[in-house]
Amino acid sequence: MSTNLPTAPEAEFAGRIALVTGGASGIGLALSRRLAAGGATVVVADHNEASAHEAVAELEATGARAAAVALDVTDPVSVEAGVRYTVDTFGALHLAVNNAGIGGPSRPTGEYGIEDWDKVVATNLSGVFYSLRFELPAILAAGGGAVVNMSSILGTNGFAGSPAYVAAKHGVVGLTKTAALEYADRNIRINAVGPGFIDTPLLRDTDAPARDHLISLHPAGRLGTSEEVAELTAFLLSDRASFIHGSYHLVDGGYSAS
CB atoms within 10 A of CB 104: 22
Cα distance between residue 200 and residue 216, in whole Å:
17
Can you count the helices (H) and strands (E) in the chain?
9, 7
* Per-residue pLDDT at 5: 55
* Per-residue pLDDT at 9: 67
pTM score of the predicted model: 0.94
Across residues 174-178, what is the average pLDDT? 98
Q: Could you tell me the pLDDT band of residue 2, with boundaries at 50, 70 and 90?
A: very low
User: Which stretch of DSSP H or E encloses residue 43?
Assistant: strand 41-46
What Å distances lie between residue 186 and 55, 62, 96, 189, CA to CA? 33, 34, 16, 9
What Å distances lie between residue 34 and 54, 64, 144, 171, 177, CA to CA? 16, 11, 21, 26, 25
Catalytic residue check, 165: yes
User: Which stretch of DSSP H or E encloses residue 39?
Assistant: none
Query: Of 15, 98, 92, 32, which Cα lies nearest the Cα of 68?
Result: 32
pLDDT digits (tens, 9 = 90+) for 226-247: 999 999 999 999 999 999 999 9
pLDDT digits (tens, 9 = 90+) for 30-54: 999 999 999 999 999 999 999 999 9
pLDDT digits (tens, 9 = 90+) for 134-162: 999 999 999 999 999 999 999 999 999 99
Point out the catalytic residue in the list 165, 183, 248, 255.
Answer: 165
Cα distance between residue 47 and residue 148, in whole Å:
19
Domains identified in the chain and CATH numbers: 17-257 (3.40.50.720)
Cα distance between residue 185 and residue 166, in whole Å:
31
pLDDT digits (tens, 9 = 90+) for 74-109: 999 999 999 999 999 999 999 999 999 999 999 999
